[in-house]
Amino acid sequence: HNNNNASRGAFIVMEGVDRCGKTTQCGLLLDQLRSDNIPAVAMRFPDRTTAIGAMINQYLTGGTDLDDRAIHLLFTCNGRAIVLGMVQQSDVGLPAPDAVIFLDLSQEEAQQRGGYGEERYETKDLQIRVRQRFQKLQQLDTQVPWHVVSAAQSIEEVQADISKIVEKTMAQAKHKKLGKLWQ
């Protein structure tokens, strides 16, 4: 929006290792926002509904084999399609989130959750490395505030923590320009 006085919504990213509760919490948050009459949309990455997403899904669920570079490119294409299509900005450059909510869960705790181990990346060593990378990424990211929430709490407790962060983020984002990632 070009009008400087116009307020905008907030762009919030939910992150964390497989099975930490991203799907559960995004669903609950969406329900809560909508019942408060706050319009909200959820985007999922990877988006398994696109043609490229279907290829990623086949890879993740073990149906096809691809080398690491090929799958990386597919993930990149899948993300760009979402960003360009949904945010509809002509600039190429990813919009920076107003906040990242990191649902932190140890590998041991994740392993006890339903469905763990069904997908290709859900192996012990890889998930431990993913968690470490997230911690590094958080230190590198000086622009976007990261909020670490313990995902080992009950669903209701996690939801309450997220709710507070989202409320604050929305209030702060209202009159701020949307930033660009790594710029």
Nearer to ligand ADP, 18 or 47 (CB): 18
Of 18, 47, 98, 161, which one interacts with ligand ADP (CB under 6 A)? 18
Residue 181 in contact with ligand ADP, rule: CB under 6 A = no
Residue 158 in contact with ligand ADP, rule: CB under 6 A = yes
| Whether the Cβ atoms of residue 109 and residue 78 lie closer than 8 Å to each other | no
Name the segment binding ligand ADP (CB under 6 A); options: 13-21, 28-36, 137-145, 160-168.
13-21
- The residues in 75-134 that bind ligand ADP, with binding defined as CB under 6 A, are 113-115
Q: Which long-range contacts (CB under 8 A, 24 or more apart) does 164-167 make?
A: 165/12, 165/99, 165/101, 166/10, 166/12, 166/29, 166/33, 166/99, 166/101
CA distance 51 to 152: 35
Residues forming contacts to ligand ADP in the complex (CB under 6 A) are 16, 18-24, 113-115, 154-155, 158
